[in-house]
Structure 1
């Protein structure tokens, strides 16, 4: 199996496993991603910036935020300087739900990494972080003939 296929399959299967486990508590990977991005973003971050940060389109995030807001997990706040923009914050209930989601994913991660040395984990994290950085900054090295 080549590196490209391995990365694609790992991402898909990891997300599917996370979704399966989070469904047991009425949550999903997309909800966790949105809430985590909001929780760690500066207060004035807009919906568009959050969507870009997690790599989805604005309307997709809007649907997720509608559900999170209806469940009382996220609150949308008007931007006093630009009424077109909305800022979000995770509510107290949202932080509780997010904590439960992260506990589940932490347990899955620990199980997946059992018997893999810390050195191997660090080396691979460095490699994957470099690839992600190149994708995010558009610095993918040019193709060579």
Structure 2
């Protein structure tokens, strides 16, 4: 690969990455909607599942990328649907901890089944070796992105 094609690829990478992520999410949302799951419900449930039961509400908000009040409304919906329950934090009376219910665990299995199917479909032309290379690159990019975010949070 020449340095000019490498440079050109680097210049386009961010836009391509963001565009692909947007389209990937739209495809997931569409397929999950066919299974009766909205992006407002499946993403927070998956974050809760991945984080483990008992995560604090404010930590879930950070992981999902929502402000506290938006998450509260969403958690109200998930509680009403019987997918999660809120419990008092035994170490902090002001905080709530979030737990999946048995129905929430069933919903996770449904979500995982749909995600696995569509991800296999979308990655059909990508080899395991390419996936490993991408995963390694994503890990490196993630570290750099976090350092940029951390630097933005530092007081000036």
**Do they fold alike, i.e. is TM over 0.5?**
yes
Q: 1:4 to 1:135 in 2, by over 3 A?
A: same
1:78 aligns with 2:88: yes
Q: Secondary structure at the match of 2:133?
A: helix
Aligned mates of 1:33, 1:130 — CA distance in 2:
24
Q: How does 1:96-111 map to 2 (within 5 A)?
A: 96-111=106-121
Q: Which has the higher strand share?
A: 2
Partner of 1:91: 101
Contact 2:85 2:99 in 1 (8 A): yes
Q: Which has the higher helix share?
A: 2
Partner of 2:23: 13
After the TM superposition, which parts of structure 1 deviate over 4 Å for at least 4 consecutive aligned residues? Answer: none
Partner of 1:116: 126
Contact 1:38 1:50 in 2 (8 A): yes
For residue 22 of structure 1, the aligned residue among 32, 35, 58 is: 32
Q: Secondary structure at the match of 1:89?
A: strand
1:4 aligns with 2:14: yes
Aligned mates of 1:13, 1:127 — CA distance in 2:
20
Following TM superposition, by how much is the alpha carbon of 1:125 offset from its aligned partner in structure 2, in angstroms? Answer: 1.3
TM-score by length of 1: 0.86
Q: C-alpha root-mean-square deviation of aligned residues, in Å?
A: 2.1
Q: Secondary structure at the match of 1:114?
A: coil
1:51 aligns with 2:51: no
